[in-house]
Amino acid sequence: MIKNILSISGKPGLFKLVSQGKNMLIVESLTNGKRTPAYAHDKVVSLGDIAIYSTEGDVPLADVFESIKTKNEGKQVDIKSMSPEEIRSYFAEILPDFDDERVYTNDIKKVFVWYNQLINAGISEFKDEEPAQETEVEK
């Protein structure tokens, strides 16, 4: 689900991919619904391509968002009232094995801000539905 949600460097907020044109993408802001072009020179990253460093390997952002949703019962995270230490300890409750040296507090804040924006936009399903695999049993 979050594969079509984009972060564009230099533009605030998150964007939903609407369509593709020649040398550009048409994106829609999740905050105000305004459509704008994103050009080839803009640094555009899909949230589906982002992962968080952990001691066991990289954890996809969709999994982190699902953990946040479970911990907060689908509600937004109030990070404005938290100190940097509280933000890190709260994130450790969500992802206990995150790499403390490679994941910075600003990265954690961004994850929470993105999560809040998605919830605010009515997006609460972060993982793509995996097609059910049929297994045949031979007799």
- To the question of pTM greater than 0.75 for the whole model, the response is yes
Q: Is residue 72 part of a domain?
A: yes
Q: Is residue 126 part of a domain?
A: no
What pLDDT score was predicted for residue 132? 45
- Residue 83 and residue 106 in one domain: yes
What pLDDT score was predicted for residue 134? 46
Would you say how long the chain is, in residues?
Answer: 139
- Residue 108 and residue 55 in one domain: yes
- Residue 68, classified by CB atoms within 10 Å of its CB into exposed (0-12), middle (13-18) or buried (19+), is buried
What pLDDT score was predicted for residue 133? 47
What pLDDT score was predicted for residue 129? 62
- Residue 92 and residue 114 in one domain: yes
What pLDDT score was predicted for residue 37? 93
Tell me how far apart the alpha carbons of residues 104 and 46 are, in angstroms, rounded to a whole number. 20
CA geometry: angle at 73 spanning 48 and 52, to 5°?
30
Q: Is residue 125 part of a domain?
A: no
Structure tokens at 75: 């509600």
Q: Which of 34, 97, 116, 137 is nearest to 26 (CA)?
A: 34
Domain that holds residue 77: 51-120
Name the domain count of the chain.
2
- Residue 43 and residue 55 in one domain: no
- Residue 104 and residue 59 in one domain: yes
- Residue 112 and residue 67 in one domain: yes
Instruction: Show pLDDT as tens, one digit a residue, over the chain (139 residues).
Output: 789 999 999 899 999 999 998 889 999 999 999 999 999 899 999 999 999 999 999 999 999 999 999 999 999 999 999 999 999 999 999 999 999 999 999 999 999 999 999 999 998 888 776 554 444 444 4
- Residue 68 and residue 116 in one domain: yes
CATH number of the domain to which 22 belongs: 2.30.30.730
- Residue 108 and residue 58 in one domain: yes
